[in-house]
Structure 1
Amino acid sequence: MTKLGYQFQRIDLLQQALTHRSVSQRDNYERLEFLGDSLLGMIIAKYLYCHFPKEKEGRLTRMRATLVRQESLAKIAKDLQLGQSLILSVGELKSGGHHRESILADVVEAIIAAIYLDCNRLDILEPIVLKWYEPYLIEIHPGDQLKDPKSLLQELLQSKKMPLPIYEVVNIEGDAPNQHFTIHCQVEGFSVFKGEGASRRFAEQAAAADILKFLEHSL
């Protein structure tokens, strides 16, 4: 867990933050997630308030929503390689719980709370969280959050007079409502891009986001 950038004094807090309710109905991450959600919202709100002094409340709110939504948190979980450390039941493991976006997002919030309870200092927690978010904070702009990656990709391709992308479901793991989708997205003239998520929509958005990053440096 070295990628977290924090050394826990109370390992039990970290363990709880990684434990799914399928393993323990009592000592799981859900209460920590509740606290972490509020802490994360405050940290991101403060950052946006300080770095975008000319933006109005409504736009700042939408920017924050983009940064703290499930897809964004799941990306951070993958950056931190949390999936391999999750404590899941055998059933959850078999259904792909270690890479399910909803679980990964919840665990990020739970770990934020665990760090805070371990050190009891916001001045320690805040730079840690902002470090995790650094690649995404650099990229965010006041207008970007108004549209999702699929919409932005479509607009980019239309502006270049290119064919629209084709999305195809190539794999579905698990049973509803705990499914994990893998999507292939093809843009004519380029390689196939893969997206994964807890729903077809999330997987398509993930694939579109990756294609956008690639095309922005290629077109």
Structure 2
Amino acid sequence: MRFWWSRKAETALPIRNKTLAEQALTHRSYTEGDLQASNERLELLGDAVIGLVIAEYLFHRHPDWDQGQLSKARASLVRASVLCEAAKRAGLPPLIKLSPAEEQAGGRERASILSDTFEAVVGAIYLDQGYKAAQDYILTHLQPELQALDEGRMPIQDYKSMLQERTQAWWRVTPVYEVVEEHGSPHQRTFVVQVRLKDLVVGRGSGPSKKQAEQKAAEEALQYTQQNRRLIDETLC
């Protein structure tokens, strides 16, 4: 990888290791798929760190919330549109290294690329400076959304909405839900629903109503798509 640095990057990133900082800002299109040079591995690490920081924040900030409320609030705060705005506040868009084709296609403004880059930068900060520095960076750049959530001004989205936002941002595909099983007495029905992206099943859930089963399927799909994004990229693209 050609060494790269700039005054803007030095100001925007609290990372001493410049090679690590460069990797965090390098989209895979720039490296022609070289995993060691792109930011994809750092993105995975950063995603985990962000999830932990937000979960810890919500746990202490809202002691009266149950597990379901905490889980939905965390999912609302780590979705692509929120991390995209955080990346803009952090000054990351002009620093991202993209291929000419991706640049021409508007990649520098694409929510998925900006949110992925924010995650990668968090991963790099964690490796370079430790948990506290990564925590400070996350809470600083997500402060408007955290404050809005604490004040009740930010709605906590349901799993179906969050899944649709993710799949449209990442693959430009709308999830399809379908009932695959239905059993029990007329007054105690259980519905089993699966959700797919084109022909790929990504989640399955059950419940006493179709709506509840769909929410369960979407919740499972959010986990699956996060953990298997590269595989889904290859399947859908």
* Mapped pair 1:38 → 2:48: yes
Query: What residue identity is the alignment partner of 1:146?
Result: Q
For residue 78 of structure 1, the aligned residue among 88, 96, 103 is: 88
Runs of 4+ in 1 over 3 A off after TM superposition: 1-4
For residue 20 of structure 2, the aligned residue among 13, 27, 41 is: 13
Q: 1:109, 1:124 → 2: CA distance?
A: 14
**2:131 paired residue number:** 122
Deviation by residue 1:98-118 (Cα, 9 ceiling, x = unmatched) = 010000000000000000111
Query: What residue identity is the alignment partner of 1:95?
Result: A
Query: What residue identity is the alignment partner of 2:157?
Result: L
With over 3 angstroms needed to count, the CA separation of the structure-2 counterparts of 1:91 and 1:177, relative to structure 1, is farther
With over 3 angstroms needed to count, the CA separation of the structure-2 counterparts of 1:3 and 1:129, relative to structure 1, is farther
Q: Which segment is superposed worse, 136-145 or 82-91? A: 136-145
Q: 2:11, 2:139 → 1: CA distance?
A: 13
RMSD (Å), alpha carbons = 2.3
Q: Report the Cα offset of residue 9 of structure 1.
A: 1.4
Q: 1:102, 1:30 → 2: CA distance?
A: 12
Identity of aligned residues (%): 35
With over 3 angstroms needed to count, the CA separation of the structure-2 counterparts of 1:70 and 1:41, relative to structure 1, is same
Contact 2:45 2:120 in 1 (8 A): yes
Map 1:1-219; keep pairs closer than 5 Å.
1=9, 4=12, 6-24=13-31, 25-26=33-34, 27-119=37-129, 121-141=130-150, 144-146=155-157
Report the TM-score, using the length of structure 1 for normalisation: 0.63
With over 3 angstroms needed to count, the CA separation of the structure-2 counterparts of 1:55 and 1:177, relative to structure 1, is closer
Count of residue pairs brought into register by the alignment: 150
Report the TM-score, using the length of structure 2 for normalisation: 0.59
The structure with more radius of gyration = 2
**1:195 paired residue number:** none
- Unaligned runs of 5+ residues in structure 2 are 1-8, 162-169, 173-237
Q: Which segment is superposed worse, 123-132 or 80-89? A: 123-132
